[in-house]
Amino acid sequence: MASSSDSNKTQYVTTYTPSLLESLPRLERRQSLGITEENLPFKGLDIWNAYEFTWLNAKGKPEVAMAQFQVPLKSVNILESKSLKLYLGSYSNTPFAHRNEVIQTLESDLTLAARAPVSVALMTPDQVLAEGIGLLLGNSIDHLDVDISEYYWNPEFLELESNTAVREILYTHLFKSLCPITGQPDFASIMIQYSGNSINHEGLLKYLVSYREHAEFAEQITERIFVDIMNRCSPERLAVSARFNRRGGIDINSHRTCEENLPDAVRVWRQ
């Protein structure tokens, strides 16, 4: 008889099993922010990078790549990260005739799960190495000497410094939240780009740190930050980029912006 600990172990499937992939609807979480699908206040994209992806070629020899998935902002669903890891793991002992077949299979399954077209790219180890680690633009607010004692989401920390118009880019590596399914910590680097009346930097840092015990998915956190800053500070332009640390070999990069253009792709030090 199997012990209780054995029965709780995750079963890792190594032959292609698309049914492992799960998704979650965006609508309910957006409604909690007062967002409607017909009138989204932002543009953007969700980019997933899977560094632990492997399959077999037609001769049974392993191939490896970093798999990148771009999920459109208006997809009906978001991808559930643990199921994505298990789904990608099911490729590991599965032979494919050629790389394009792998890409086509991924695009078909992920598009079905997201209910919107998902684009897939496979990057070789040499390509990933050539891109390397990058630096965020702008100024870090991590050096600020502030007293912080609140670790549950609190948008009231957001306030204007003055009526002086500025254009600046601010970022922090101190961000932490919780996965709403597993309760595990999610670490991220958050970058805020805005123009308008000057936002108080200490208040912004306190606000971002207040997510420390907040449980929410990365995509919704990015949207929540965007909406909170818009509601509290009314910038003329705003872009929020959340670059979440790898968990299970997968990172997620969620971007919400007033503009059509997205920030430059950067792999930061924890990714």
Which pLDDT value is given to residue 223? 97
Confidence class for position 263, pLDDT limits 50, 70, 90: confident
Query: What is the greatest pairwise CA distance in the chain?
Result: 70
pLDDT tens digits for 125-165? 999 999 999 999 999 999 999 999 999 999 999 999 988 89
Asked if 233 is an active-site residue, the reply is no
- Domain 4-131 grouped into CATH 3.40.50.1220: no
Which pLDDT value is given to residue 46? 97
Spatial distance between the Cα atoms of 264 and 45, rounded to a whole number of angstroms? 12
pLDDT of 5 strictly over 80 = no
160 backbone φψ class: left, alpha, beta (φ>0; ψ -120 to 50): beta
3-state secondary structure of 172: strand
User: 211-224 burial by CB neighbour count: b if 16+ within 10 A, else e?
Assistant: bbebebbbbbbbbb
Query: Which residue ranges does the chain devote to CATH 3.30.1130.10?
Result: 4-131, 139-257
Spatial distance between the Cα atoms of 182 and 6, rounded to a whole number of angstroms? 19
User: 249-259 burial by CB neighbour count: b if 16+ within 10 A, else e?
Assistant: ebbbbbbbbbe
pLDDT tens digits for 219-238? 999 999 999 999 999 999 99
Asked if 109 is an active-site residue, the reply is no
pTM of the model: 0.93
pLDDT tens digits for 109-130? 999 999 999 999 999 999 999 9
Q: What is the mean pLDDT of the chain?
A: 93
Catalytic one of 6, 126, 142, 179: 179
Which pLDDT value is given to residue 11? 81
- Domain 139-257 grouped into CATH 3.30.1130.10: yes
3-state secondary structure of 109: helix
pLDDT of 2 strictly over 60 = no
The percent of residues in the chain predicted with pLDDT above 70, rounded, is 97
pLDDT tens digits for 17-51? 999 999 999 998 899 899 888 889 999 999 999 99
Which pLDDT value is given to residue 39? 86
Which pLDDT value is given to residue 8? 56
Catalytic one of 46, 186, 228, 251: 186
Query: What's the mean pLDDT in 205-223?
Result: 97
CA dihedral for 97, 103, 106, 109, sign (positive or negative): negative
